[in-house]
Amino acid sequence: MEHVISVTLENKAGSLSRVAGLFSGRGFNIESLAVATTLDPTVSMMTIVTSGDDRIIEQILKQLNKIIDVIKVVDLSESDAVSRETALIKVSTRPEDRAETLRIVDIFRANVVDSSPASYTIEVTGAVQKIQAIIQLLQPLGIKEIVRTGRIAIAREPVRTEATQPRPLAKAN
Amino acid sequence: MAQLTGAEIFLEALKREGVKTIFALPGGVVLKIFDVLHQQNDVEVILTRHEQGAGHMAEGYAKATGKPGVALITSGPGMTNVVTALADAYMDSVPLVCFSGQVPTALIGNDAFQEADNIGLSRPCTKYNFLVRDVNDLAQTIKEAFYIASTGRPGPVLVDIPKDISMNKTDVTFPDSVSIRGYNPTYEGSKWKIKQAADAIMKSRRPILYLGGGVQLSKASPEVLELAEMTQIPVDQTLMALGSFPGQHPLSLGMLGMHGTYVANMAMHYSDLVIAVGARFDDRVTGKVSEFCPTAKIIHVDIDPTSIRKNIHVDIPIVGDCKRVLQELNSVLRATVNGDQKEWRKPWWDQLNEWKNDHPLSYRQEPDQAVKPQYFIDRLYHLTKDRDPILSTDVGQHQMWAAQYFHLAKPNAWLTSGGLGTMGFGFPAALGAQAAFRQRLVLCIAGDGSVQMNSQELATAVVEKLPVKVFIINNRFHGMVRQWQDLFYEGRYACSYLDQTPDFVKLAEAYGAAGLRIQTVSDVDDGIREAVAIDKPVFVEVPVDQFENCYPMIPAGGCNHEMILEDPPELQKRQPVEAMGQRDGKDTILTA
Rounded to an integer, what distance in angstroms lies between the CA atom of residue A128 and that of residue B307?
34
CA geometry: angle A60, A65, A69, nearest 5 deg: 125
Tell me B372's DSSP state: P
- B519 catalytic per annotation: no
Q: Is A78 helix (H, G, I), strand (E, B) or coil?
A: helix
**Residue type, position B549, single letter:** N
Least confident of A161-170, B213-222, B229-238, B273-282: A161-170
Rounded to a whole number of angstroms, the distance from the CA of B154 to the nearest CA of chain A is 12
* Yes or no, beta carbons of A25 and B124 under 8 Å apart: yes
Contacts of A55 in chain B (CB under 8 A): 309
Rounded to an integer, what distance in angstroms lies between the CA atom of residue A9 and that of residue A11?
6
pLDDT for B120-156, tens place per residue?
999 999 999 999 999 999 999 999 999 999 999 999 9
Q: Any idea how long chain A is? A: 173
**Residue type, position A84, single letter:** R
Q: Which of A9, A17, A62 shows the shortest C-beta gap to B123? A: A17
Q: What pLDDT sits at residue B337?
A: 86
Q: What pLDDT sits at residue A168?
A: 59
The 3-state secondary structure of B152-210 reads CCCCEEEEEEEHHHHHCEEECCCCCCCCCCCCCCCCCCCHHHHHHHHHHHHHCCCEEEE
Stretch B161-179: mean pLDDT:
96
- B366 catalytic per annotation: no
**pLDDT class for B578, splitting at 50, 70, 90?**
very low
Q: Is B571 helix (H, G, I), strand (E, B) or coil?
A: helix
pLDDT for B450-459, tens place per residue?
999 999 999 9
Q: What pLDDT sits at residue B575?
A: 59
Contacts of B306 in chain A (CB under 8 A): 59, 62-63, 66
**pLDDT class for B413, splitting at 50, 70, 90?**
very high
Q: What pLDDT sits at residue B264?
A: 97
Rounded to an integer, what distance in angstroms lies between the CA atom of residue B81 and that of residue B112?
18
Stretch B505-511: mean pLDDT:
98
Contacts of A59 in chain B (CB under 8 A): 306, 309-310
Q: Which of B108, B123, B311, B313 to mutate to test the interface with A (most CBs of A within 10 A)?
A: B123
pLDDT for B27-51, tens place per residue?
999 999 999 999 999 999 999 999 9
pLDDT for B435-444, tens place per residue?
999 999 999 9
**pLDDT class for B486, splitting at 50, 70, 90?**
very high
**pLDDT class for B1, splitting at 50, 70, 90?**
low
CA geometry: angle A163, A169, A173, nearest 5 deg: 150
pLDDT for A46-82, tens place per residue?
999 999 999 999 999 999 999 999 999 999 987 889 9
Residues B228 and B251: beta-carbon distance below 8 Å: yes
Q: What pLDDT sits at residue B262?
A: 97
pLDDT mean across residues, chain B: 95
Asked if pLDDT for residue B2 goes beyond 90, the answer is no
Which alpha helices (H) appear in B241-301, and where do they start and end?
A: 262-270, 283-286
Asked if pLDDT for residue A31 goes beyond 90, the answer is yes
CB pairs under 8 A between A and B: 37
Q: Is B328 helix (H, G, I), strand (E, B) or coil?
A: helix
Q: Choose among B411, B451, B468: nearest CA to B278.
A: B411
- B163 catalytic per annotation: yes
* Yes or no, beta carbons of A17 and B120 under 8 Å apart: yes
pLDDT for B48-89, tens place per residue?
999 999 999 999 999 999 999 999 999 999 999 999 999 999
Contacts of A63 in chain B (CB under 8 A): 306
Asked if pLDDT for residue B404 goes beyond 60, the answer is yes
Structure ipTM? 0.91
Q: What pLDDT sits at residue A167?
A: 60
Stretch A92-120: mean pLDDT:
94
The percentage of chain B sitting over the pLDDT mark of 70, rounded to a whole number, equals 97
Rounded to an integer, what distance in angstroms lies between the CA atom of residue B326 and that of residue B226?
9
Asked if pLDDT for residue B586 goes beyond 60, the answer is no
Q: What pLDDT sits at residue B592?
A: 37
Q: What pLDDT sits at residue B91?
A: 98
Stretch B370-378: mean pLDDT:
97
**pLDDT class for A171, splitting at 50, 70, 90?**
low
Rounded to an integer, what distance in angstroms lies between the CA atom of residue B166 and that of residue B133?
11
